[in-house]
Amino acid sequence: MAAARPFYNALFRRNWQMLGAVFGGAFAFEMVYDTSMNKLWDNLNRGRQWKDIRSKYVEEE
Amino acid sequence: MLARSGLRSTRILNGARNGATAFTKRSISSNSRASTESPMKLNVTVAASTALAIGSVAWYYHLYGSTAHAMTPAEEGLHPTAYPWVHQQWLKTFDHQTLRRGFQVYREVCAACHSLSRVPYRTLVGTILTVDEAKELAEENEYDTEPNDEGEIEKRPGKLSDYIPAPYKNDEAARAANNGALPPDLSLIVKGRHGGCDYIFSLLTGYPEEPPAGAQVGAGLNFNPYFPGTGIAMARVLYDGLVEYEDETPASASQMAKDVTEFLNWAAEPEMDDRKRMGVKVLTVTAVLFALSVWVKRYKWATLKSRKIVYDPPKGASNNVRS
């Protein structure tokens, strides 16, 4: 129980702290989840998507 | 049905055989007169009524039991083979190299008769062509401008926002050029045909060398078993080596059919790649949330589910428990 004390002070003590934690957590989770799922998706579809074959057809760069 | 009538007949037969117990049986049996008649007549009656019952059921089934088809199998068309399309798996996108080849087949072969009127050039950018290629392709065609100051409508080269032009001005022109048959627009053909990709692939590769003996092929029609009615106005178009692929894939007829089918699937469902990617994300999160909610429910209900209710009767009051 004593270990939970810093969490309580940082997150739940005041309402704005709680709200901030919820919104910030949602934002961070969304970014991390999206990036990792996109990576997984690109890995499952390696060589099939346009970005994989684009380099063959783009002339400049 | 049969079993129940069989039971009843044995009951009747028993009643007839045991004359001594006939009186008691009479009150039970529904057919009270049966016990007084001779066994021979009874047997005949039972056999006749059973035959009548079976016969009427058989006659009813003959009339109404079998599946009714509005069309003959030839009019339905042969069912297409189910092919293992990779792009139809849950976790797979379109193979965009295939789409590029398929678009080449469409442009060089199909576009002579079939329009693709719901696909603008801009959708090809970043899926099949680069921007420069798509612009170059669009500029090959002329489109009407807005009316100028004199109200004249002039021509301008195509832009990315223009739609791929149709080979004919309108349906009537298309019919007139094709012996009265209208080549359907291919934008949504994969969604619009029963069997989808399988049907289109089977149709394109399913033309036999010559129609089978006895098949009725109308004038100007070609035989294809997969086409409903088997008489199709489109002749076989895909032959080995018809197209020269830029990525040097051997252009066999089935390769071209497969590429163009996947391309047409893309034309009908350009959102498929994104839809599946989003679907994976949603299903994963939903699965976790569902598991969580199951756990919470079990946690909350644990006290209710694990309690035990015991009735402890009052001591020495065996005669009036209820009081």
Query: Measuring CA to CA, which residue among B200, B231, B271 is closest to residue B75?
Result: B231
Chain A positions touching B97 (Cβ under 8 A) are: 48, 53
Paired with B253 in beta bridges are none
Q: Beta strand pairing status for B222-223 and B142-144?
A: unpaired
Structure tokens at B223: 């035989």
Identify the residue whose tokens are 């627009």.
B185
Provide the pLDDT for residue B1. 43
**Mind telling me how many Å the CA of B247 is from chain A's nearest CA?**
10
Q: Which of B106, B263, B100 is nearest to A56 (CA)?
A: B100
Q: What gap in Å lies between CA B22 and CA B33, rounded to an integer?
A: 10
Cα–Cα distance, B165 to B140 (Å, whole number): 10
Q: Specify the residue for token string 């830029």.
A: B246
d(CA B121, CA B161): 6
pLDDT in tens, B289-311: 999 999 999 999 999 999 999 99
pLDDT of residue B102: 96
Is B35:B22 a contact under the CB 8 Å cutoff? yes
- Cross-chain Cβ contact B95/A48 below 8 Å: yes
Chain centre to alpha carbon of residue B306: 48
Angle between the N-to-C axes of helices B196-205 and B253-268, in degrees from 0 to 180, rounded to the nearest 10: 150
> What residue in B sits closest to A54 (Cα-Cα)?
B130
pTM: 0.76
CA B273/CA A51 separation, integer angstroms = 13
pLDDT tens for residues B157-180? 999 999 999 999 999 999 999 999
Which of A39, A48, A60 best tests the B interface by mutation, with the highest count of B CBs <10 A? A48
**What is the complex's ipTM, to 2 decimals?**
0.85
* Residue B245, burial from CB neighbour count under 10 angstroms (0-12, 13-18, 19+): middle
**Average model confidence (pLDDT) across chain B:** 88
pLDDT at A12 over 90: no
Confidence of residue B15 (pLDDT cuts 50, 70, 90): very low
